[in-house]
Amino acid sequence: METKRIYIKDTEHVRDEELLEAAEIIRRGGLVAFPTETVYGLGGNALDEDAAKKIYAAKGRPSDNPLIAHVSCPEEVEPLVEYMPEAGKKLMEAFWPGPLTMIFPKSSRVPYGTTGGLETVAVRMPSDPVANRLIALAGVPIAAPSANTSGRPSPTTADHVWQDMNGRIDMIIDGGPVGIGVESTIVDVSGDVPTLLRPGAITMEMLRETVGRVEIDPAIQAPPSADLRPKAPGMKYRHYAPKAPVTVVRGDPAQTAAYIAQHIGEKTGVMCFDEYRDCFPGCVVECFGSENDLGTQAREVFDRLRAFDDTDVRQIWAQCPSDEGLGLAVANRIKKAAGFSVVEV
Ligand code: AMP
Ligand code: MG
């Protein structure tokens, strides 16, 4: 398949003409990768089971790992859900459009092919103007997982998407690098107490301020085990991983840097905070932001993890922020890249 690539220069003022062909591809059942504020998404009609199948095939994603349906306005949620829980209403008002996905009881209109066989559906309204306008023009909710090959770090630029999806999908819309860089926060509002399934830019602190009690699914912090059946099926898969194995070292940054420096072997990669750039002689060093700059860390983490795949490193050590605010999301992605191989110092 030939993949067409189009470039949107002024994403804030994208014109409908620029997106009509993409919208038509979605309506016809094809696949279009597009920018969102979180990461690039791989879009297809969320109400079309065949489109969902194509998404799974293009990503090489296991088909029990459900897709998020993206809408362009709150009114488009109603046909997708059985009913709207109170917590869902509050969170929608507070954080939409934006990087928050919610899990609702699904209506009969949403095919099981999109939800991985589940009775629930994940829905998000992105704030990115290109994403938002594309969904509106397509006239259908767009199922859009991250536009990477399953298991690889999520794409934060159109070049990342091109590396993984060229020849496998109909179109890539290049809107430049994304703003946030880690995927949306996912909160399950289908049960009694809202539960965080994936940390993101809408932080635990922000959620609790809006709805009070929020629980954290244990699969966010710990390796999946045979008896732990994660609520978000994606949690059980290795994720975000470069080809070489990653080990995370957690603790005070000066101490984690010292620990890593003592453990340098042959062909070693280090992903570290900017401050420690010069501490690892002979290593391939990728910096992902200053130790207190979580925004930059979120934007850079996947690009830096991907960069190791162009080198011959055989092992990778990574520093990691603590769990406050956006740090929970960044740390979760790094720990998942490491398959939860974590050293505490
Ligand atoms: P991605 O598409 O790469 O952003 O990943 C989407 C994530 O949303 C996956 O980890 C899914 O498991 C999760 N997800 C989607 N739909 C549901 C659902 N109905 N219930 C729980 N998790 C879901
Ligand atoms: Mg993904």
DSSP states of 265-290: -TTEEEEE-GGGGGG-TTSEEEE-S-
Q: Which of 31, 65, 142 to mutate to test the pocket of ligand 1 (most atoms within 8 A of CB)?
A: 65
Strand ranges in the chain using DSSP code E only, listed in sequence order: 4-7, 32-34, 41-45, 68-70, 100-105, 120-124, 142-143, 171-174, 185-188, 195-198, 215-216, 246-250, 268-272, 284-287, 315-318, 342-344
Residue 82 corresponds to which tokens in the numbers above?
Answer: 């059985």
Determine the pLDDT at residue 233.
60
CA separation for the pair 65, 101 (Å, rounded): 15
Coil vs helix vs strand at 124: strand
Taking the CA of residue 122 as reference, the ligand 1 atom at the shortest distance is 16
Q: What is the pLDDT of residues 181-194, one digit of tens each?
A: 999 999 999 999 99
Residue in this structure with the two tokens 């009114």, named with its chain if needed: 75
Stretch 11-25: mean pLDDT, rounded? 98
**pLDDT of 263 strictly over 60:** yes
The pTM (predicted TM-score) of the whole model is 0.96
Q: Determine whether the shortest distance from the Cβ of 129 to ligand 1 is under 6 A.
A: no
- Please work out whether the CB of residue 121 comes within 6 Å of at least one atom of ligand 1: yes
pLDDT of 239 over the 90 cut: no
Ligand 1 atom with the smallest distance to the CA of 120 is 19
- Give tens-digit pLDDT for 56-71: 999 999 888 999 999 9
Range scoring the smallest mean pLDDT among 82-86, 200-204, 225-229? 225-229
**Is the CB–ligand 1 distance for residue 102 below 6 Å?**
no
Spatial neighbors of 252 by CB under 8 A, at least 6 apart, are: 345
134 lines ligand 1 (CB under 6 A): no
Q: Ligand 1 centre and the CA of 291: distance in Å?
A: 30
| Residue 343 reports pLDDT greater than 60 | yes
Residue nearest to atom 10 of ligand 1 (CA): 234
Span from the CA of 38 to the centroid of ligand 1 (angstroms): 14
User: Is the beta carbon of 197 within 6 A of some atom in ligand 1?
Assistant: yes
pLDDT digits (tens, 9 = 90+) for 151-203: 999 999 999 999 999 999 999 999 999 999 999 999 999 999 999 999 999 99
Q: State the chain's mean pLDDT as an integer.
A: 95
Structure-token pair, residue 11:
């994403």
CA separation for the pair 146, 278 (Å, rounded):
33
Distance 36 CA to ligand 2 centre (A): 13
pLDDT(230) > 80: no
Q: Give the CB-side neighbour count of residue 171, counting CA atoms within 13 A.
A: 24
Find the mean pLDDT for residues 274-302: 98
How far is C-alpha 75 from the geometric centre of its chain's CA atoms?
A: 24
- In this prediction, residue 184 carries a pLDDT of 98
Q: Computed over its alpha carbons, how large is the radius of gyration of the chain?
A: 20
Q: What is the pLDDT of residue 222?
A: 80
**% pLDDT > 90, the chain:** 91
CB of 183 closer than 6 angstroms to any ligand 1 atom: yes
The verdict on the CB of residue 190 being under 6 Å from ligand 1 is: no
Name the closest-CA residue to atom 23, ligand 1: 232
Strand partners, 45: 142
Question: 84-122, pLDDT tens digit by residue?
Answer: 999 999 999 999 999 999 999 999 999 999 999 999 999
Q: How far apart are CA 147 and CA 128, in angstroms?
A: 16
pLDDT at residue 271 in the model: 98
The sheet carrying 284-287 orders its strands as 284-287, 268-272, 315-318, 246-250, 342-344
pLDDT of residue 254: 98
Whether the pLDDT of residue 236 is over 80: the answer is no
Q: Where do we find the tokens 């979580």?
A: 294
**Residue 112: how many CB atoms within 10 A of its CB?**
13
Q: Can you give the pLDDT at residue 102? A: 98
Instruction: Indicate the pLDDT class of residue 229, thresholds 50, 70 and 90.
Output: low
Task: Give the pLDDT score at 110.
Answer: 98
Banded model confidence at residue 251, pLDDT cuts 50, 70, 90:
very high
pLDDT at 237: 64
Q: Is residue 231 lining ligand 1, measured as CB closer than 6 Å?
A: yes
The DSSP secondary-structure symbol of 167 reads: T
